[in-house]
Structure 1
Amino acid sequence: MSSFKLVATSAMGLEAIVANEVKALGFETTTENGKVFFEGDQAAIAKTNMWLRVADRVRIVAGEFRATTFDELFERTKAIPWERFLPVDAAFPVAGKSVKSTLYSVPDCQAIVKKAIVERLKQAYKRIGFLDESGPLFKLEVSILKDHVTLTIDSSGAGLHKRGYRVGQGDAPLKETLAAALVHLTRWNPNRPFVDPFCGSGTIAIEAAMIGQNLAPGYNREFLSEAWPWMKKDVWDRVREEVEDVAKYDQPLDITGSDHDPRMIKVAKENAMEAGFADLIQWKQRDVHDLTVEGLNGVMVGNPPYGERLGEIEEAEEITRVLGKIMKNYPSWSVYMLSSLSNFEEMYGEKATKKRKLFNGFIRTDFYQYWGQRQS
């Protein structure tokens, strides 16, 4: 099959960033809530899995149609040429979700889709009885929204946030994809200093280092579609060769991560070592009260404590107050903070130049942006 309809899924609020990433790889896009659609061949599947920093997964759209009865769901699923995707021995579990649709029973929808695909494959491969499903894994999903059915195949496997470098984490780790999005939104480049004063397990600083040296986020992991028999091995080989060709391993970086907790600094160092940045990121154990920065026109990005309970909220507000006072001394620095505090600007002591609504998992947050006054 020369071309596929593909979809890069994303967290709410990050679709535009994912669309820009897909366009930068050379594809035209259309965007819906949490989805960026594009067309591409096998190389597109490999390339987007390897390079998308902010997307959750890359899926193949096998079919779309409208269905309001189980008969329609069965017949229209069966009409899709599944033999173009699935070999006779494919293992193909079917996940499902249904929102505002006539067919609301997800287990029933999953069972019917599975049965329809089995019937289609038995006909296509001239088999009688059961399919043994002992071969390569194809993770399917039936998604029904307002009676519109979309059947997709996951080409990624583990979510794209699983970069392969996180050997340890804190209590509330930031997803690597969201961390990369925060760095993207700052328009930081490696010629500027970069500081995360609440680094935790180091994710934001490590993602910045990967962006700074133009390293593909998928360089250190494998993908489900690599095991598919119709995906040519040389496609993946070429994509991995390109990763090496364009990486800027000699690009100097001025990136610092700090945290008050010495245990998290230890974890951050271990994660950075796993990512290949053992000597490129500086890690400091320090309280926000002791925060200082060096250089001009730097970028500070952080995910400070939100505070879920009363005492913690007061502590989060105090941290924000302190940060605001300190950063007034560095007018050329731009500050970007992800926070769920509704009074963040009041505590920081200044109205943000811009703020953007984002979700950290299920927590609704704002990304507060304070743009520095560039100095030379």
Structure 2
Amino acid sequence: MAETFFSPCPRGLEALLADELRGFGAADTEILHGGVMWSGEWTACYRANLESRLATRVLWRVGRGRYQGEIDIYKLAYSLTWAKWFTPDDSIRVAVTAQQSPLKSLEFITLRIKDAVCDHFRTVVGRRPDVDTANPAVRIHAFLTRDMVTLYLDTSGEPLYKRGFKTAAVEAPLKENIAAGILRLSGWQPGETLVDPMCGSGTFLIEAAQMALDIAPGLGRKFGFERFRHLDETAWSAVRQAAKGRCKALVPLSIFGSDIVGDQVRRSRENLAAAGLDKCVTLDRADILERQPPSASGVLVTNPPYGVRIGEAEELAAFYPLLGNALKKHWAGWRCYFFSGDMALAKLIGLKASKRTPLFNGALECRLFEYKVIAGSMRDKPRTASDDGTAPS
């Protein structure tokens, strides 16, 4: 029997996620703000967790109803058959989000749902699960609108962008599902040359290499549904084996990374090695303003730094025009993509963005700027009012 699921994702990637989920067997996909509602068999849920590059989680809808006050939410949560899905030995965590709910305290709603689940277990099996807000075995999510509450069990556990292997972090990491979405938006295809000239911890490089080699992003981690009492172990094993069977041999790829900071190159190399991909990607220490492209055409994609500290904005204001000059000088014939929360990039880089795609990195609104660099066409062209990539008024 088909179940109902909701898969949140970074805002701006919902349509791409819906297409991806349909490839795993999802039906009735409904694109919502910040995610996709869909229906499917449990094998589709297993595949979405194991293979989705874009989803943040896969939430299984277990209850839904109208409410007027906290007692209605408690009664709905108490009525669900929690003891059929997990045991009191599994610790729990409850998370609540809301849009236009008249209830004043989400903390109190969280407490009432936790009480309802624990009271259900006391009634059914005589003892209750413990609460663990740091590392729970089972995660329960509630979503409130003006008069409806929906309860979900999290089939993923840790967020799906945590692929399970990255060891060396950077100060402002780019989430893996955003990086995968940006690669999809760029139109990059395996076999086409890809360069990240400010590679940081190597997120774009790892995601691209896994795409090229058809490596499911979740093969190195565990999932929340593996703790469920009704797990179909035979079906789950078949899904994993099928994904493993599609993995291609590890070979050198046309994927290149570099950074001017040697410590960042070290981090990328360490993370690539942890993912088993260090022999597949070429890494160098280089300045983006000086480095040469490895081929006549391809895709350049990067997440440049943007100023948050005193003095950084001034440094970047001087850097962006130099970056534009470097692109015109060295990267003609390339499609170049810059993901940034700094809207000054488009005004100062000196090139006209052919596309500006809004995306969110957590709560931070960003843009993916696309520049198609054509030899000679932009060198002496007068600036226009729309050269920052916005439509002329």
Aligned partners of 1:292, 1:158: CA distance in 2, in Å?
39
Aligned partners of 1:24, 1:347: CA distance in 2, in Å?
41
Unaligned runs of 5+ in 2: 376-393
1:359 partner amino acid: F
**Does the 8 A contact of 2:338 with 2:369 survive in 1?**
yes
Task: Quote the residue 1:148 is aligned against.
Answer: 148
The alignment's TM-score, normalised by the length of structure 2, stands at: 0.87
**Does the 8 A contact of 2:252 with 2:281 survive in 1?**
no
Aligned partners of 1:104, 1:142: CA distance in 2, in Å?
15
Task: Quote the residue 2:186 is aligned against.
Answer: 186
Task: Quote the residue 1:25 is aligned against.
Answer: 24
Task: Quote the residue 1:268 is aligned against.
Answer: 268
Per-residue CA distance 1:333-374 (angstroms, 9 max, x = gap): 100001223232232212111111112233221100123569
Task: Quote the residue 1:15 is aligned against.
Answer: 14
TM-aligned CA distance change 1:262 to 1:192, over 3 Å: same
Task: Quote the residue 1:345 is aligned against.
Answer: 346
Aligned partners of 1:293, 1:70: CA distance in 2, in Å?
60
Aligned partners of 1:266, 1:110: CA distance in 2, in Å?
43
- Partner secondary structure for residue 95 of structure 1: strand
Aligned partners of 1:46, 1:26: CA distance in 2, in Å?
10
Measure how far apart 1:83 and its partner are: 4.3
Measure how far apart 1:120 and its partner are: 4.1
- Structure 1 window deviating more from structure 2 (331-340 vs 80-89): it is 80-89
* Aligned: 1:131 with 2:128: yes
Aligned partners of 2:150, 2:222: CA distance in 1, in Å?
26
**Does the 8 A contact of 1:212 with 1:251 survive in 2?**
no
The alignment's TM-score, normalised by the length of structure 1, stands at: 0.91
Per-residue CA distance 1:154-206 (angstroms, 9 max, x = gap): 11111111112211022111111111111111111122110001101111111
Task: Quote the residue 1:199 is aligned against.
Answer: 199
- Partner secondary structure for residue 92 of structure 2: coil
**Does the 8 A contact of 1:160 with 1:218 survive in 2?**
yes
Aligned partners of 2:263, 2:14: CA distance in 1, in Å?
35
Aligned partners of 2:269, 2:290: CA distance in 1, in Å?
20
TM-aligned CA distance change 1:319 to 1:26, over 3 Å: farther
1:223-262 equivalences under 5 Å are 223-249=223-249, 252-262=252-262
Aligned partners of 1:164, 1:83: CA distance in 2, in Å?
29
TM-aligned CA distance change 1:206 to 1:88, over 3 Å: closer
Aligned partners of 1:373, 1:250: CA distance in 2, in Å?
34
1:1-376 equivalences under 5 Å are 2-28=1-27, 29-87=29-87, 89-122=89-122, 125=124, 127-128=125-126, 130-131=127-128, 137-249=137-249, 252-329=252-329, 330-371=331-372
TM-aligned CA distance change 1:171 to 1:119, over 3 Å: closer
- Structure 1 window deviating more from structure 2 (23-32 vs 48-57): it is 23-32
- Structure 1 window deviating more from structure 2 (310-319 vs 159-168): it is 310-319
- Partner secondary structure for residue 93 of structure 1: strand
Measure how far apart 1:50 and its partner are: 0.4
Aligned partners of 1:142, 1:360: CA distance in 2, in Å?
23
**Does the 8 A contact of 2:339 with 2:366 survive in 1?**
yes
TM-aligned CA distance change 1:159 to 1:132, over 3 Å: closer
**Does the 8 A contact of 1:4 with 1:40 survive in 2?**
yes
TM-aligned CA distance change 1:308 to 1:111, over 3 Å: closer
**Does the 8 A contact of 2:84 with 2:229 survive in 1?**
no
Measure how far apart 1:90 and its partner are: 4.5
- Structure 1 window deviating more from structure 2 (358-367 vs 309-318): it is 309-318
TM-aligned CA distance change 1:310 to 1:88, over 3 Å: closer
**Does the 8 A contact of 2:11 with 2:35 survive in 1?**
no
Per-residue CA distance 1:95-114 (angstroms, 9 max, x = gap): 22334212221232123223
**Does the 8 A contact of 1:60 with 1:155 survive in 2?**
yes
Q: How many residues align?
A: 369
Aligned partners of 1:61, 1:221: CA distance in 2, in Å?
23
- Partner secondary structure for residue 201 of structure 1: coil
